[in-house]
Amino acid sequence: MDIDNRLELVKTFCGLEKDEINLLKEEGIPLEDADRLIENVIGKMEIPLGIAVNFLINGKEVLIPMAIEETSVVAAASNAAKIARVKGGFFTQSTDPVMIGQIQLTGVKDPYNAKMTILSQKERFLEIANEKDPILVKFGGGARDIEVRIIDTPVGKMVITHLLVDCRDAMGANAVNTMAETIAPLIESITGGKVYLRIISNLATKRIARARAIFSKDALGGEEVVEGILQAYAFAFGDPFRATTHNKGIMNGIIAVALATGNDTRALEAGAHSYACITGKYLPLTTWERNEDGDLVGTIELPLAVGIVGGATRAHPVARTSLKILEIKTANELAEIMAAVGLAQNLAALRALATEGIQKGHMSLHAKNIAIMAGAKGDLIDKIAEIMVKEKKIRIDRAEELMKEFS
């Protein structure tokens, strides 16, 4: 489809208005809005927004907006989602959206006693934390619990209080940081210690999203392909050098959806990679098994602290439109969709790697980028790219030669 037809399809699917279509097609974020989002703004950096198709998640058709500069990611996700459909698509689940706020207490002589003192005041802590965010409480969220850990550090033991906050549809960093700052003075006064840091943890172990899917061996290309993918997974399991790239492929999809919806991509990356090595060994975020029928079963589990309110999710008009395209009502639904995309992305990468190699699929789009780098415009981009792919010479010097030939 061309761009107009794609937009028409999305419009029909989720009822986009004319101004939303104009926003996507032409306008993007107004400069005054950009100026309010960060400091010292001088312009906008635009990234393509594509739609991943074929996703059937918990029995529902979903169109997935992805903002990413890398070629092949949107196509690969769509392709994997098509294979997953044969066996019913993706099935997802998630925990409550609970984030952890950390309060660092130092200078106490009896840290274990301080831990008990803090825990004994739990109800008081929760009450004053919740008074700070009545809106969050109104939406069914709020401070839920307190945990206290004693940690060893180069300057001695510290007492770390974790304030567990159900953030509902917000990512929650501002909400949690405010609550952590609010309860800190009380922690100091009842223990006699000194508090330094009061900040959210991006290792969001209490806010986990999961997805699973079965990929039919026939749709994948046969038993050999299944075996190749299992070998690729085993490689990632046994080697952090490979596992890092395995997980990078997963994050290709997850971060593209995060960016499209105005979520904090750095928070997600930090949490995902930290979770990948929570056992002390850096591991793949997915698992791959063969079931009784010889089909491939994939699962993914990772912390996904995403919001559909707060931060840039509502302040950025394109992010708002992406959320509309997704037709979701809660942040948990968004996290679950992202988990499904991560699993699809991983399947696509492993399948390509275990069979024809990753470059074949990449090259035709990559060739277009090279043609653009050489100065090609319009139809000439496709023409030059096509020749370079045919010749298997996808290089800037060849693109420049072709440019000269055609000009």
Q: How far is the CB of 177 from ligand NAD (least distance, A)?
A: 6
362 is catalytic: yes
Q: Which is nearer to ligand NAD, 167 or 339 (CB)?
A: 167
Sign of CA dihedral 125, 131, 136, 140: positive
Provide, rounded to whole angstroms, the least separation between the CB of residue 186 and ligand NAD.
20
Of 4, 19, 70, 391, which one is the catalytic site residue? 70
Using only C-alpha atoms, the chain has a radius of gyration, in whole angstroms, of: 24
Nearer to ligand NAD (CB atom), residue 303 or residue 310: 310
Residue 32 falls in the annotated catalytic set? no
The rounded distance, in Å, linking the Cα atoms of 193 and 144 is 24
**171 versus 276: smaller Cβ distance to ligand NAD:** 171
> Could you list the residues that contact ligand NAD (CB under 6 A)?
133, 135-136, 139, 141, 167-175, 177, 200, 202, 264, 267, 307, 309-312
What is the rounded CA–CA span in Å between residue 118 and residue 123? 10
Told to judge if 293 belongs to the known catalytic residues of this protein, a careful annotator would answer: no
CB of 360 to ligand NAD, least distance (A): 38
| Residue whose CB is less far from ligand NAD, 193 or 311 | 311
Closest CA to 286 of 340, 357, 226, 353: 340
Q: For residue 387, give the amino acid letter.
A: I
Q: Please, what is the minimum distance in Å from the beta carbon of residue 185 to ligand NAD?
A: 20
The question of whether 401 is a catalytic residue gets the answer no
Tokens 């992010």 correspond to 319
CB 166 within 8 A of CB 144: yes
Query: Rounded to the nearest 10 degrees, how much is the dihedral formed by the CA atoms of 358, 360, 365, 368?
Result: 130
The catalytic residue among 264, 295, 301, 333 is 264
User: Which phi-psi region, left, alpha or beta, contains residue 310 (left: φ > 0; alpha: ψ -120 to 50)?
Assistant: left
The catalytic site residues sit at 70, 248, 264, 362
